Each structure stands twice: as structure tokens, then as C-alpha cells.
């Protein structure tokens, strides 16, 4: 996915990468992606090298040299005839041009679930667009590219907790040349954790052994949602619908019980029961209470599932995130 440099920078919030002016870099933030066709329609290539250079790659010849006219109309000396410059002189050797690059890539924002992160940096060597990939690194060395996370901004989720979160940026120029891949980690290359308020809330719930949340449950068709109450206990969970049917779903935690979230849907999550039936739910989006947010519910459920598994195996109970 390609992103284009704006022809004129207005502020760091609405630009992809900064074009250098008079040899000075400007640090700006990236913006939303545009199509490849828009990149191909660019008429002007903005130089971003730290030192200005002469650019004749558009096919223009260098300016002709000027000569003094003969001192007299009767002079036997004729003005010289200018020769066309050779292609190698006018065009230059494009293979000698430095590849597009990004300098001082960094991530701003608090790396807690529910908070937004933004990547920014300096563009050099004619960088006009970038490819972005947000990626999770685990302690065992495995790497997971986050499906759909291909923009310079990203909202941290419950899936990022206890992982090392990073962004990879591939710079490109208007000739589609790729520069060196650049990677930077969020949270100063430390594991992602919950903010103190969310972590305290989860620990209190684990200590009490139960919790209830007001949610909405999908009817499974036509984007219809029904108000429901999700109750979590040490051995399992229940979902009671508040509609006319008053359906109640009760399940015990098992090794097959999972809780998943989908990128781009900040309030939704899915519980998959031991019978492989999915219960698609939505947290209260209007609540400012962190105890009711989607990521708190998901992390709480996952910890209860983990605790239930540890009790069956006789293992010591531990949290999977740390302060």
C-alpha cells in the first residue's frame, strides 16, 4: 500500500513525510494511504536530499553556456555552434542516486490498550511514499503481522498485551525503488502492558472471582444487536439476553474456549465455546469507565480461562502481564 508525499507541507498532522526545504529536514507525521494511480500522476518530484542537487532527470538539458558577441560586425570570428549534450550527461546515471530512506523513525503515544499510536520520521533521498506494517514479536522469537494494520497510526488492543509491538516502514520513491526497511518498537522496546487503572480493575475482578458486564449480542444477521449481560465466574461464563426471548447461554471454561477480537472494530469481541459456537458481542461504546471497555473484558476473560486451566493441571496461578 503506497502513501504519497503532499506537494506542500501545512502541518505535521496532515502530511505523510516531509520534503526538505533548502537542505533542512522537517519532521512530520504520515497520513492515510492513496492509490498507486495517484502516485503515477505526479508531475513534480520534490527533492528531499539534505543538500540540494541539480536534477535533470526529467529530460531537460542543462542551461546553455553564454558567449560574448563579436566586438564588431566585421569580425572574422564566428560565434561557436553549441553541441547537444550526450545522453549520459543530460540524464545522469540514475543507478548512482541514493535509495529512498527514512531517518529518525519513532512512535508517539501511550502504548496501552485502547490508546492510539502514531509513527513519524524524516524523509530523505527523494522518498515519496511508504509501505507500513504493524507487527508483534513474542519472547520465543516468533513474529505476527497484524492483519489490516497497514497505516502509520494504530490503536493498541488486548492482543498486544505481553508482546513487543513494532512498526516496519519501507520507503519508496517516484520510480518505485525500495529503500532499506526501517523498524522501531513501541514502549521503548518493552512489553506492552495495561495502564495502572485497567490492571488494578482486572486484578480486583480476579480476586473476587466474578464480574458482570453490560454488552450487546449479535443476532447473527442484518447487523441486529440485542442487549445482554455477560457474567464471568471462576469456572465459566453465562450470557443472558434482555430481549423478549430472554435466552441464557451457560458454558464452562475448557481448553477450547477462546476470546478473539477483529482489527478495526474497537468495541467488538467473540467468545468461542467448547462446542465451537461463536458468540459475537459488543462492549458499551459510550461508557468512559475503563472497567467496561472491550479490552478489559477480553483480558479478564482470558485470565479466567487461564486460571481454570491451571487449576485443572494443578499449576501455580500467575498473571500473563506484568507491571
Predicted confidence (pLDDT) per residue in 155-168, tens digit: 999 999 999 999 99
Whether 160 and 279 map to the same domain: the answer is: no
State how many domains the chain has: 2
Q: Which residues contact 143 (CB under 8 A, 6 or more apart)?
A: 135, 136, 137
Q: Does a structural domain hold residue 318? A: no
Q: Does a structural domain hold residue 322? A: no
Model-level pTM greater than 0.75?
no
Higher pLDDT, 12 or 158: 158
Among residues 140, 173, 193, the one where a domain terminates is 193
Q: Is residue 304 over pLDDT 70?
A: yes
Q: Does a structural domain hold residue 321? A: no
Q: Does a structural domain hold residue 303? A: yes
Whether 175 and 307 map to the same domain: the answer is: no
Distance CA 269, CA 214 (A): 13
Closest CA to 266 of 164, 114, 98: 114
Helices 196-208 and 294-313 cross at an angle (nearest 10°) of 40
Higher pLDDT, 54 or 256: 256
Whether 159 and 266 map to the same domain: the answer is: no
**Can you give the pLDDT at residue 274?**
85
Residue 320: pLDDT band by 50, 70, 90 thresholds? low
Distance CA 313, CA 320 (A): 17
**Can you give the pLDDT at residue 26?**
42
Q: Is residue 8 over pLDDT 70?
A: no
Among residues 154, 170, 193, the one where a domain terminates is 193
**Can you give the pLDDT at residue 48?**
38
At 173, which CATH number? Answer: 2.60.40.2700
Residue 7: pLDDT band by 50, 70, 90 thresholds? very low
Whether 121 and 252 map to the same domain: the answer is: no
Whether 176 and 223 map to the same domain: the answer is: no
Q: Does a structural domain hold residue 89? A: yes
* CA 41 and chain centroid, separation: 26
Percentage, residues of the chain above pLDDT 90: 57
What is the mean predicted confidence (pLDDT) over 185-200?
96
What is the mean predicted confidence (pLDDT) over 55-62?
37
The 10s digit of each residue's pLDDT in 225-257 is 999 999 999 999 999 998 766 789 999 999 899
Q: Is residue 258 over pLDDT 70?
A: yes
> Domain range for residue 128?
1-53+75-193
Among residues 129, 160, 193, the one where a domain terminates is 193
Higher pLDDT, 12 or 303: 303
**Can you give the pLDDT at residue 289?**
81
Calculate the average pLDDT of the chain.
77
Which segment of 2-11, 206-215, 259-268 scores lowest on mean pLDDT?
2-11
Whether 202 and 149 map to the same domain: the answer is: no
**Can you give the pLDDT at residue 172?**
96
Q: Does a structural domain hold residue 320? A: no
Higher pLDDT, 48 or 314: 314
**Can you give the pLDDT at residue 93?**
55
Q: Does a structural domain hold residue 139? A: yes
Whether 22 and 122 map to the same domain: the answer is: yes
What is the mean predicted confidence (pLDDT) over 116-135?
96
Residue 319: pLDDT band by 50, 70, 90 thresholds? low
Whether 126 and 220 map to the same domain: the answer is: no
Distance CA 174, CA 128 (A): 6
Whether 86 and 29 map to the same domain: the answer is: yes
Tell whether the torsion through CA atoms of 248, 253, 256 and 257 is positive or negative: positive
Whether 204 and 102 map to the same domain: the answer is: no
**Can you give the pLDDT at residue 290?**
85
Q: Which residues contact 27 (CB under 8 A, 6 or more apart)?
A: 12, 18, 104, 120, 121, 122
Distance CA 218, CA 212 (A): 18
What is the mean predicted confidence (pLDDT) over 72-88?
41
Q: Does a structural domain hold residue 176? A: yes
CB 46, CB 7: distance < 8 Å: yes
Whether 169 and 309 map to the same domain: the answer is: no
**Can you give the pLDDT at residue 314?**
80
Q: Is residue 102 over pLDDT 90?
A: yes
Whether 157 and 249 map to the same domain: the answer is: no
The 10s digit of each residue's pLDDT in 198-230 is 999 999 999 999 999 999 999 888 889 999 999
Amino acid at each position: 500500500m503506497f502513501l504519497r508525499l503532499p506537494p506542500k507541507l501545512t502541518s505535521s498532522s496532515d502530511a505523510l513525510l516531509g520534503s526538505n526545504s533548502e537542505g533542512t529536514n522537517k519532521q512530520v507525521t504520515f497520513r492515510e494511504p492513496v492509490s498507486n494511480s495517484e502516485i503515477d500522476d505526479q508531475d513534480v518530484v520534490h527533492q528531499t536530499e539534505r543538500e540540494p542537487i541539480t536534477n535533470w532527470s526529467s529530460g531537460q538539458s542543462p542551461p546553455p553556456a553564454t558567449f560574448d558577441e563579436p566586438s564588431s560586425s566585421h569580425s572574422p570570428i564566428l560565434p561557436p555552434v553549441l553541441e547537444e549534450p550526450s545522453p549520459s550527461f543530460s540524464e545522469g546515471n540514475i543507478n548512482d542516486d541514493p535509495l529512498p530512506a527514512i531517518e529518525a523513525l519513532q512512535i508517539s503515544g501511550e502504548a496501552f490498550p485502547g490508546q492510539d499510536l502514531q509513527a513519524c520520521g524524516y524523509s530523505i533521498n527523494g522518498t515519496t511514499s511508504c509501505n507500513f506494517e504493524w507487527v508483534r514479536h513474542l519472547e520465543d522469537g516468533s513474529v505476527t503481522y497484524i492483519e489490516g494494520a497497514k497505516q502509520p497510526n494504530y490503536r493498541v488492543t488486548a492482543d498486544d498485551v505481553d508482546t513487543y509491538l513494532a512498526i516496519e516502514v519501507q520507503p519508496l520513491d517516484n520510480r518505485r525503488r525500495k529503500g532499506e526497511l526501517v523498524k522501531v518498537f513501541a514502549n521503548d522496546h518493552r512489553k506492552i502492558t495495561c495502564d495502572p487503572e485497567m490492571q488494578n480493575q482486572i486484578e480486583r475482578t480476579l480476586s473476587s472471582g466474578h464480574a458482570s458486564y453490560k454488552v450487546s449480542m449479535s443476532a447473527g444477521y442484518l447487523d441486529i444487536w440485542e442487549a445482554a449481560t455477560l457474567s464471568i465466574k471462576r469456572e465459566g461464563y453465562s450470557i443472558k439476553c434482555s430481549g423478549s426471548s430472554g435466552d441464557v447461554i451457560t458454558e464452562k471454561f475448557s481448553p477450547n474456549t477462546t476470546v478473539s477480537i477483529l482489527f478495526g472494530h474497537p468495541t467488538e469481541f467473540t467468545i468461542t465455546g467448547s462446542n465451537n459456537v461463536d458468540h459475537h458481542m459488543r462492549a458499551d461504546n459510550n461508557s468512559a469507565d475503563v472497567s467496561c471497555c472491550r479490552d478489559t473484558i477480553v483480558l479478564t476473560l482470558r485470565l479466567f480461562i487461564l486460571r481454570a486451566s491451571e487449576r485443572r493441571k494443578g499449576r501455580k496461578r500467575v498473571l500473563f502481564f506484568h507491571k
